[in-house]
Amino acid sequence: MEALRQPLKTMLPPVWILLITVYGLNAEGDGMEELATEKEAEESHRQDSVNLLTFILLLTLTILTIWLFKHRRVRFLHETGLAMIYGLLVGVILRYGIPATSYNHKTPPSCSLKEGPVSTLLLNVSGKFFEYTLKGEINSREIHNVEQNDMLRKVTFDPEVFFNILLPPIIFHAGYSLKKRHFFRNLGSIITYAFLGTAISCFVIGNLMYGVVKLMQMVGQLTDKFYYTDCLFFGAIISATDPVTVLAIFNELHADGDLYALLFGESVMNDAVAIVLSSSIVAYQPSGANTHMFDASAFFKSVGVFLGIFSGSFVMGAATGVVTALISFSDPYFKQMK
């Protein structure tokens, strides 16, 4: 035993030194990772502050422009159009004039997925799992400019915010202040423009796009496959119009009531028609080997989807309006307001 104790006593100090060194290196590595994370968070906060300051300056410039146009009575250009020009100029400056600050010097890992992109990706880094979310496709020419793409993504206005938060109050105010007599007097024309106009526009744009796609494939400028349903889907999306700016101009200029009612009613209904029409085109899935040929059963199924979604939405909207009217008529508070 005494013979074994002597070698152990001799080996213990080097072992302790080795363990302390390894622990120190790991702690230093964790400290460097935390420092890099803090720098990345600080850079992200700084970028968010710059973006917020840019938005405030744009809003201030737009408000001053509106005041100047009202004061000078400028007629050849509306303030909404000039606000769009401001946004375009700032976008060009951010895209091409300001270089992105790179705060991540590590080479990003690459992996290949055979089944397509996933919404969430778990990455194992030295025994620690990190969650990554899908932000979108990156062009092969911009794969080494990730920081610039991230900056542009932050300053890009989210259309969901506009359609779900900003647009409903605008439509509600326009509908609430609309003269019902003009609206119901032109209801037949509004429905005709909304249904037939949107459907005709969808098929015209879809056929034009299909012809352009075939022409580009013939001349060798397009190698991807675009089917007729894809072109119709694009036509359904483009056919919907939201003339919010035009409605604001009509309201300011006190345009004819019938013209305002026609434009407002068609703009409200064509959105619903375009959404249901695009859903019906997506639901068109022929059975068999060739899924892009005409199939009568799939066509009638798409028509059924169109009628079902539109009828259900119409019934829900009408029921909500009836319930709201009954509550407003029976509540004494609303009677006092009248």
Residue with the bigger pLDDT between 171 and 65: it is 65
| Mean pLDDT of the region 72-91 | 77
- Whether 162 contacts 244, CB under 8 Å: no
Intra-chain end-to-end CA distance of the chain, in Å:
103
pLDDT of residue 133: 72
Taking CA atoms, 238 is separated from 160, 247, 313, in Å, by 17, 19, 21
CA 68 to chain centre: 33
| Mean pLDDT of the region 274-282 | 81
* pLDDT category of residue 221 using cuts at 50, 70 and 90: confident
DSSP result, 159-199: HHHIIIIIHHHHHHHHHHSS-HHHHHHTHHHHHHIIIIIHH
Type and span of the H or E element at 122: strand 120-125
pLDDT of residue 213: 87
Q: How far apart are CA 91 and CA 193, in angstroms?
A: 35
User: Domains of the chain: which residue ranges?
Assistant: 170-337
> What percentage of residues in the chain have a pLDDT greater than 90?
1
> For the chain, what is the mean pLDDT?
73
Q: How far apart are CA 131 and CA 121, in angstroms?
A: 6
Please say if the pLDDT value at position 263 is more than 50: yes
| Number of Cβ atoms within 10 Å of the Cβ of 302 | 20
Please say if the pLDDT value at position 8 is more than 50: no
